[in-house]
Amino acid sequence: MIRPTIYLIRKIGKSNNDILNHTKLLVATKFYGARVTELNGTQEQINVLGKQYDKSWVIRLNCPETADYVAFEGEYDEKQQSPKYIVKQVRHHKSRTTLYVVGTEAKL
């Protein structure tokens, strides 16, 4: 399934005068034309990710991108910066990138 727009969210270190303040700024950029496949099934999730999650996706991008979080258009609120999903694994290939994105971990 091709989602018209997703948000790639990165953590950016901001300069601070306080040496104990290690907060990171989250910067969201829109990405158009990602191939999003939902990863269903307990055994599939365990085979690919090693654990079971309530939601998980495989996202393929046709460029060398990276992100810490991914959000989907229509549900992402830019002011509150949620909901966003954690990028568990990033695989770089010759001309594309695959992101393995998960929701919350399922408790068994």
Q: Tens of pLDDT along 75-98? A: 888 888 889 999 998 999 888 999
pLDDT of residue 107: 65
Q: Answer for the pair 35, 65: CB distance below 8 angstroms, yes or no.
A: no
pLDDT digits (tens, 9 = 90+) for 32-81: 989 998 888 888 888 888 888 888 899 999 888 889 999 998 888 888 88
* Beta pairing partners, 5: 32
Q: pLDDT tens across 10-26, in order?
A: 998 777 777 777 778 88
Q: Does the CA dihedral 75-77-82-87 come out positive or negative?
A: positive
Distance CA 28, CA 10 (A): 7
pTM beyond 0.85, yes or no: no
Domain count within the chain: 1
Contacts of 31 (CB under 8 A, 6+ apart): 5, 6, 7, 8, 61, 65
Domain extent at residue 87: 5-14+23-105
